[in-house]
Each structure stands twice: as structure tokens, then as C-alpha cells.
Amino acid sequence: MTTIRLQNTKSRKREDFTPIDPQNVRMYVCGPTVYDRAHLGNARPVVVFDVLYRLLRHVYGPDHVTYVRNFTDVDDRINETAQKRKAAGVTGTLEELIHARSDETIAWYHADMDELGALRPNEAPRATTFVPQMIAMIADLIAKGHAYADGAGHVLFAVKSYAKYGALSGRSTDDMIAGARVEIADNKRDPMDFVLWKPSSDDLPGWDSPWGRGRPGWHIECSAMAHDLLGESFDIHGGGNDLMFPHHENEIAQSCCAAGHADDGTGFANYWLHNEMLQVEGKKMSKSLGNFFTVRDLLDQGVPGEVIRFVFLQTHYRKPMDWTAEKAEQAAATLKKWRTLTAGLEPHSEADDLVVEHLCNDLNTPSAIVQLHRLAQDVSYDKLGLRKLLTSARLLGLLQDEMGDWAASPQISENINVLIGRIMAERQQAKDLKDWGRADELRGRLIQAGVKISESKDSYTFEIGSDFDASKLEGLL
């Protein structure tokens, strides 16, 4: 069987991937907090782990891979929006308005990620539907001496009860305190202890628990959902590197202690993968810089989802990625070319070996794309390379039929085809007469109108671009 090698944050080494059960490969990825539209940075882990999901399905079979990506729908920002709607006179209880806001943003998220060609995970749990499992896990941690209630509705995890805390991020205690913006509170036994459960006032959503009406802390959500859907131990846990600490560190502590592995830190996820962050035109994306935009913003501006995906994949997932308008333009041109080359072809039964090899080498999508460019150069009679280009690109989530409308040439009347043919015939006549000025004028006007021309000594071909404007050819003949 093909060997996949992954850079494991946990060991800081590139390791051969050996699933616990090849018949049931399991992956969990931290999903969004659904308080608003997904911004461009939110989309990068979606595309990264979609490629890994596709690769796992390719190697182990679609029926032998389970992918879980959650929705965090317990959040103060969601509550704030619901409270504003209630104050504005929208009918319904606060809980109903919160649920409606979550429904709205989850639908947006699915629609936007679908546009990027991302496969839906096998499971997409909402945190609010797993609160009983969270309460049970918290109670178990208290019983095992890893958590404590403060008597005022809070439950906190006792970090010093887990000897391996900090192993994933490799941070010192001082670094962790600074990185987590730890609040020194009277109810904490140690500054590093973090909240598992907190009380809810009457104007906030809450659930009954042994510690009073309240709601879960952020970290316990993923631990409970992963345990319930994937088991005590599973194969891969992924997310952005901004989640490594404190979120993933806390997940590990909770889950290993709940499973009885406080001393050795085994169990939970065997492989941890983290993608780097995204920049825009060389700068950190922020509203203050005016370079913050959502995926929907780009889509509404006419940037196709397939183009966004292609730009992402040109940078290795463990390197910072810089989004630029120039990269988007180049990606669109490449994808249009590939779609033209593969139009009408049947996919090959197998992906190109080198493309698969690059993906198996810690998701080296940039090298895989270089190989796709090589396949696009196939001029053979049977077009084997182009058929493999089609199959291999789809392994990366590109050149899918349902994503190709943006690249389709407009329907051109026969009269336009005849006109372009006449213009090209006159250009050839001008070249024969060495009237280079006229020949260049004709070619230039065609290009301005959105006609792409390829010429050889004795022949030519042309392609009508999606930006074709017939009015720019008026009066040319």
C-alpha cells in the first residue's frame, strides 16, 4: 500500500502514517465559530485538510475514512448578535434567536466552502448538541482528580495534574502564561488552570449541570465531540497553528486524563498537523489595514472558488501563504488552459504516480502542481498525459465538473466566428504584403476584444475568452 508521510507536530518529525485501523481511518479538524462569514484565513485549513481527506480516501478507500469537523455554536459573539436582534424586536426566545443565528452562519459556511470544492466531512457536529457528553467528561475529570469546582458555578482543569502539559507546543510555563493571556483569579489553584464549565446568567444560554446552570468552556467541546464520534484514540487531529496553544494543548490534557493516561500522555490523536497562517499582499490580514475580506467577498467580486483553491495549494500548508491579486489572475489563466486541454476527455483510471508521491510527502501540493504543468504539455495522439492531468487535478480538488462554469467560453454566434476568421485572413494578407502595422493592429484589436490567438507559420487557432466583447471589433473590416 502507498505510504503517506506527515509532519507530526507532536513528535516534530516527519513520520510514516500508520493508522490505528486501516479499515477505519479517523481524522478530526477544528471547525469555525459560527458568528459571521468565514474570512479567507478560515478557508485555508478547510482546503488543506480537504486535500488530506481526498488523499486518505484515495489510499484507503472512500468507505474507510471518517472525517469530523465541528461547529462551535456556543460563543459570546453569537450571543451578542442574538441579544441585539431581541432588543430590535425580533420574536423568539434568546435560545431560539441564538439557534437561528447559528443556522444562518452554518448555511453560509457550507455554501462558501462548497464553492471552494471542499468535500463535506462525514460528520459536522454542533457543540450545542453534545453538551451532555461534555458534562459527563467534566464529571469524570473531577472524579479522577484532574478538575475541581469552585462552588460558584465554575469548573476548572488542574493543569499540574497532567505531567505532559506543554509537550505539543514545546512552550515553557512562562511562555504559556503569556500566550494564553492567563487571568489570575481567586478561584484558580494555579494560574494555568482553565475553564471547563462556567455559570450562565438569565440573559445567556445555559444548561443544567451538577454545578448549576451554565455553559461549557471552549476546549472541552472538541474533546467531547472527538471522543463521542471517533473514540478514545484516533489517527489525525488538524487545525491552524494558532490553535496549537492553548486550544489543542488543552484538548490533549483533558482527553488523556479522562482516558486514564495522565502519566504517559498516550491516546487521543496520534498525528497532529497544523497549517500556517495567511497574509494578503504581504501583510497580516486585518480590518485596520483594510485588507480583511471574507470568502464571500471574493466570490461576489467574481473570483471563482476554484481559483481561490488553486492559489492556496501553490504554497505548502506549513508555510505562510500570501494572497495576491496577481496570483489569482495567474491561477485563473492556468485553470482555463487546463480546462481547455482536457475538455471532452475521459479521466484516466489512475492518478499520475508523481502527483500521488508528492501528496504523500507531507501534502507537497506545490510540487504536485509542478507535475500537473508537465502533464499539461502532452501532445501525444492518445493524450495520456492530459487524461492523467484531469484525474490528478481532481485528487487536489481541481478541474471538477461542477466547478467549471466560470471558465466556460461564452456562446458565440456563427457570425462572430466568421468575423474572426475574416480578420485573421486579412492579418495574414497584411503579413504577406509586409504591412506589419496593419497586421499588428488586427491582432491587437482581437486581443482587446478578449480573443486569444495561437499562430504558427501556416495556421492559427483562436479561443473566445470569458471577457469577450464583440463591440471592440466593430469597424475593423
* Count of Cβ atoms closer than 10 Å to residue 218 Cβ: 18
Burial 300-318 (b: 16+ CB within 10 A, else e): eeebbbbbbbbbbbebbbe
| 222 known ligand binder | yes
| 287 known ligand binder | yes
Helices 365-375 and 305-313 cross at an angle (nearest 10°) of 110
Task: Describe the strand order of the beta sheet including 278-280 as a list of residue ranges.
Answer: 283-284, 278-280, 321-323
Which residue, chain included where needed, has cell 455554536? 73
CA angle, residues 5, 48, 367, in degrees to nearest 5: 60
| 257 known ligand binder | no
Burial of 25 (0-12, 13-18, 19+ CB in 10 A): buried
| 96 known ligand binder | no
Evaluate whether 407 touches 466 at the Cβ level (below 8 Å).
Answer: yes
Which amino acids are annotated as binding site for Zn(2+), given as ranges? 30, 222, 247, 251
Which amino acids are annotated as binding site for ATP, given as ranges? 287
Which amino acids are annotated as binding site, given as ranges? 30, 222, 247, 251, 287
